[in-house]
Amino acid sequence: MPQIRKNLHLALLLMPLLATAQPSINHWETAIFSQNTWRYRSGASEPPANWKDPGFNDLNWDTGQGGIGYGDGDDNTIIAPASSVYLRRTFQVSDTSKLELAVLHADYDDAFVAYLNGVEIARANIGTPGLPPPYWAYSNTDREALMYQGGLPEAFTVSKQQLEQLLAEGANTLAVQVHNASATSSDMSSIFFLSFAINDAGSYFSPVPDWFYEPFVSSNLPLLFVDTGGQPIPNEPRIEGHLGIVDNGPGERNYLAGPFNGYDGKIAIEIRGSSSQMFPKKGYGFETQDENGENNNVSLLGMPEENDWVLHGPYSDKSLMRNVLSYHIGWQTGRYAPRTRWCELFINGQHQGLYVLVEKIKRDKNRVDIATLQPEDIAGDELTGGYIFAIDRDDPGEDDGWYSQYVTDVFYRYEDPSHNSLVQVQKDYLRNYINEFETAMAGPGIGQLYDDYIDLPSWIDYWIATEIFKHVDGYKLSFFMYKEKDSDGGKIHFGPLWDLNLAYGNFDFGTESPAPSGWSWAWANWGYLRPYWVAGLSNIPHIRNLTKCRWEELRQAGLHTDSLLQFIDDNAQLIEEARIRNFERWPVLGVYVWPNSFVGDTYEEELDFLKGWLADRLTWMDANMYGDCSAVALEEALLPEVYLEVFPNPAQSEVAFYYEHTQWENGELLLFDALGKKAGQLELAAGRPGRLSLDKMAKGVYFYQFAVEGRVVARGRVVKG
């Protein structure tokens, strides 16, 4: 086993167990309370090496009631400011066979390492697991205690097998060293409770505190364990780490002590995000690597193989699912959107709460499927694509993009290839092309010229999704686009969707209203102006007519209100136990977190707000959508030429689909019921009929959509008689 994985398991204190093993717990009791009398020693010098062992003589140490520290008013014993303090407490165990698990609840400022009978069992915010920090060491980062603010202590679990090795019948010792953030720190807290899970109805210690919560030993969601050897994860650059994933598949429990069967290998990881970096719950970007540090394309949680991933940690979004919902809406338009998977995350042994594993936007056959641009592609058709770029924030000091020639606050950023990977002639080509596009969109001829530059169906689908979200940063930040090679069409495509935490009414700044009415494309505020061509395209009568048709079509399928509300309910049920733990870890329910426009006291209130807002938004868009669908032939205007035959139709027990095309070989057909819920799926090969059984489907009208290379090319109805 690699050393870094040993450190991970040491930090978690979980000995290898069968993935299906589970403890037999009758009730919990507490052996050590913070307010007990402890032996303690201020860290003015290094204590003897055996200070944490049960046989150590601590009679010359001071005694005092815990917590022991200074500042914040949460200390029963106040000490002079110090870089560290060392604590010891002895407790009695009458029968070790009655103990199934232990949990150390820790409320600390700013870091600690805990030992049971001389062996490390928990650590946070300092050093390398297994190596006791010296007395003068400071924590990795500032960290405030939580209990005096109304929060809960963190929980660190000790497995049954670990207890069997460490505990003795009779006297046992818990020892803790607590470390400050700096020599000038204004506070220090050391509040610890040790509790045990009892496997029978007997009483062996004392009742648990009123706030006590059980640590979890398994989850219905995959578990991700990141270990950096105790090193804090920086904003940049990425640092080396190890990722272990416990994933037994849908419907199966995933145990903290289970084997790393979803991934077990090297990563490089960093903090990601812009304004979200101010939150204590961070988002992360990471790359899976081989032992040589090279890219390692792997499938994580069932998603297609790749090496670039994002761990999104919802914080100000207390529904926890605005991004997940938004990407689902993107998929309902037939466009690629980042795939997502719910999970629970541990970093260096600490539970971080509920996260979403997300595909990073990049060129890949299973993500944005455009031509690969190599550094040597500097002329001819090879130079013309593919490029992924975005309107976003400018990173000062980086040559990562350019400002619009028409609107000074609009910044175009090179995304994939990145500015570091592009050669100058490629940067110049993309910049000149966008300048040319902007010039064409700035004049009176926009209504005739837009089709020379943009892929119209992708614009309409992106516009519809963005308007549903009513995101405060819509069209101006994280606004992704890509350009194909000329031989592949050469046009600008819009999307994929990205970063929708502040959508669905979750903002309270700027001139925009968070209410579910009004059009996003018409807004401009907060120092970032939307590109003028967004309004230009939104006002073209022909595009409005096409958008009206597309809207009505999508509302009958995947964007039906009932279907989207059911998606929210299904995900809320899936994450129920994990989101409870998440809000224990991050107690933000009922608390304003920038930039909340609504603050619910409970998760149910947050979810009801999201659902109510979305339903009202869809109703408002139904009533106010521009255009006249009867003025255009949607199939001729939006879809490439494709022949798709459906027979018989109406049908009773089976329906067949058949298509022909000179270039396309395979496609995917999806069938939806009247509420927009997927009723069937079929891989369809050109020139070969495919069949779907209708035996288990109710009588009525169903809607199909047929997509090739991620683009919907045919739609229609099937009637089951």
Q: Is the pLDDT of residue 660 over 60?
A: yes
CATH number for the domain that contains residue 42? 2.60.120.260
Name the band, by pLDDT with cuts 50, 70 and 90, for residue 636: very low
DSSP string, 307-339: SEEEEE--SS-TTS-HHHHHHHHHHHTTS----
* 256 and 125 housed in the same domain: no
Residue at 465: amino acid letter: A
Would 318 be classed as within a structural domain? Answer: yes
* 517 and 599 housed in the same domain: yes
The β-bridge relationship of strands 350-359 and 254-255 is unpaired
CB 226 within 8 A of CB 241: yes
Would 33 be classed as within a structural domain? Answer: yes
* 125 and 177 housed in the same domain: yes
Token readout for 425 is 């002639």
Least confident of 7-11, 323-327, 337-341: 7-11
Would 204 be classed as within a structural domain? Answer: no
Would 654 be classed as within a structural domain? Answer: yes
Would 375 be classed as within a structural domain? Answer: no
CB 625 within 8 A of CB 687: no
* 132 and 62 housed in the same domain: yes
* 311 and 355 housed in the same domain: yes
In this prediction, residue 153 carries a pLDDT of 92
Please identify, among 296, 325, 359, the residue that sits at the C-terminal boundary of a domain: 359
CA 581-587-592 angle, to 5 degrees, is: 140
Would 15 be classed as within a structural domain? Answer: no
Instruction: Tell me the HSE value of 328 on the side-chain side, using a 13 A CA sphere.
Output: 21
In this prediction, residue 676 carries a pLDDT of 66
In this prediction, residue 705 carries a pLDDT of 83
Q: How many distinct structural domains can be found in the chain? A: 4
CB 120 within 8 A of CB 114: yes
Please identify, among 146, 167, 198, the residue that sits at the C-terminal boundary of a domain: 198
* 449 and 539 housed in the same domain: yes
Token readout for 63 is 């005694």
CB 19 within 8 A of CB 259: yes
* 643 and 617 housed in the same domain: no
Q: At 618, which helix (H) or strand (E)? A: helix 603-624
The β-bridge relationship of strands 308-312 and 340-347 is unpaired
In this prediction, residue 214 carries a pLDDT of 84
Look up the domain containing 244 and give its range: 218-359
3-class secondary structure for 121-137? EEEECCCCCCCCCCCCC
Residue among 572, 563, 577 at smallest CA distance from 216: 577
* 649 and 617 housed in the same domain: no
Would 290 be classed as within a structural domain? Answer: yes
* 620 and 645 housed in the same domain: no
In this prediction, residue 699 carries a pLDDT of 86
The residue among 558 and 290 whose pLDDT is bigger is: 290
Would 177 be classed as within a structural domain? Answer: yes
Mean pLDDT of 649-671: 84
Q: Is the pLDDT of residue 188 over 70?
A: yes
Mean pLDDT of 48-53: 97
Please identify, among 599, 624, 649, the residue that sits at the C-terminal boundary of a domain: 624
* 503 and 569 housed in the same domain: yes
* 165 and 246 housed in the same domain: no
- DSSP code for 525: B
pLDDT digits (tens, 9 = 90+) for 88-115: 999 999 999 999 989 999 999 999 999 9
Name the band, by pLDDT with cuts 50, 70 and 90, for residue 710: low
* 113 and 36 housed in the same domain: yes
pTM: 0.76
Token readout for 152 is 């809960």
